Structure 1
Amino acid sequence: MGVAVGNLDMEEKQIFQNVQMSVNFLVSLLKKNWQNVRCLYLKSTMGPPNRVF
């Protein structure tokens, strides 16, 4: 599942807050919450994915 959380015009703090809110919301949709999450990746448009969790 992919979710856009920011763009180039945003500050780092804004992107960080968007990532936090997005992850918390998406995890809340899962039946077993964090037990169903194996890993999380952040990816820019052109860059490689970076594992976060």
Structure 2
Amino acid sequence: MEEGMTEDDVLYFQRRAGAELELAQRATKPEVVAAHHRLAEAYLDRIASVEPARQVEHA
């Protein structure tokens, strides 16, 4: 797992990504939709960066 990243951190990033995707769906301006998608992607990227380490820990 990424240095200093806890399971709580991963859960936080998952919740934030979901919230950003919901906000993107509700937004009406293309630039706002894009901004929410970029934020969701950033949160998901953080999760993806630790997934290989998490799988090894749970093996």
Band of TM-score, shorter chain: 0.3 to 0.5
Q: Which has the higher helix share?
A: 2
Structure with bigger RCO (C-alpha 8 Å, 6+ apart): 2
| TM value normalised by structure 1 | 0.43
Q: Larger Rg: 1 or 2?
A: 2
| TM value normalised by structure 2 | 0.39
